[in-house]
Amino acid sequence: MASRLYQLSLFVIFKRLSQRFKHQSISEIKKTQYFEIYQFGYHILRRFYADYQKIGSKLIPELLFWKGPKECYEIDNGYGTFEIKSDGSKGKEILWPEELDNELRSLYDEYLLFEEKPEGVDIVEYIEQGLSRPRTRRQIIRQMKMLGLNTFGARGTRRYMERGFKSSVFTPEIVNQMHNLIDEFNSKTPPSGLGSKGGYKSIFPKFK
C-alpha cells in the first residue's frame, strides 16, 4: 500500500533530493547513486497528490502518523469503510460512520458556544460523553484532526489521570489550596493547653 509511506519525514527526504538535482537533466540523475530513490519518491508523491485531489484536506494529518492496515485501507477506500469488531455479540461496525461524524461536529460546536466552559471538562471529554457510541479519547482526537477541528492541545489521556488525581468532586486547584491551608495551619504554634499529642494536629493531620 503506497499510502503507508505518506509520511512527512520521508517527504522531506524526497524534497532534499529534488533540490539536489534541481539543475540536472534526467540523464545526469540516472548516473547518480540516488536515482532509484529519486524515482521512488516521484511515484509516491504522484500517488499522494492523486489521493489528495480525491480526499482533500483530511489527508494532510496522515503525514504526521504512522499508518497500519486500517488507516491505509481507509485512505484508499474512504474514511469509515474499515470494519472493526466492536463486540463479540454485535458483530462489526464502521468506526466513524457519517452520523457519528455529525455528532462529533455538533458536540464540538456546542462546546465552543459555552461562554463558561464546563469546569474540569475539556473539549474531548465533552465530546466523549455526548457521543451515542463509545469511542476512546485517542480515537476522538485523531478524528478531530482528520476533520480539521481544533483539539486545543488535548492529549490522549485525561489531565487528571496524568496527575494521579482521582477525585470527581474537587479539582486539582482546590486540592492544592487545601494542602496549602493545612500546611499553614500546622506550621502555627498551638494555643496553650494543647499538647503535641492532641489539638489541631490530631484533627488536621498533615497530608503526605
Nearest to 71 by CA among 50, 91, 55, 87: 55
The answer to the question of residue 33 being in a domain is yes
Domains contained in the chain, number: 2
Is 171 contained in some domain? no
Model confidence at 142: pLDDT above 80: yes
Confidence of residue 167 (pLDDT cuts 50, 70, 90): very low
Do the domain assignments include residue 195? no
Tell me the residue range of the domain where 35 lies: 2-77
Strands (E), 15-109: 83-87, 91-94
Please spell the DSSP secondary structure of 146-176, one letter per residue: HTT---TT--SS-HHHHTT---SSS-HHHHH
Q: 127 by DSSP, 3-state: which?
A: helix
Q: Note whether residue 141 is domain-resident.
A: yes
* Final residue of a structural domain among 77, 107, 138: 77
**Mean pLDDT of the chain, nearest integer:** 75
Q: Which pLDDT tens digit goes with each residue over 91-111?
A: 345 778 778 888 999 999 999
Angle at Cα 53 formed by Cα 52 and Cα 58, nearest 5°?
45
| 6, 71: one domain | yes
| pLDDT tens by residue, 68-83 | 887 888 888 777 676 6
State residue 127's pLDDT score: 92
Residue 135 carries which side chain, given as an amino acid letter?
R
pLDDT tens-digit map of 15-64: 898 888 888 888 998 999 988 988 898 899 989 988 888 888 888 888 88
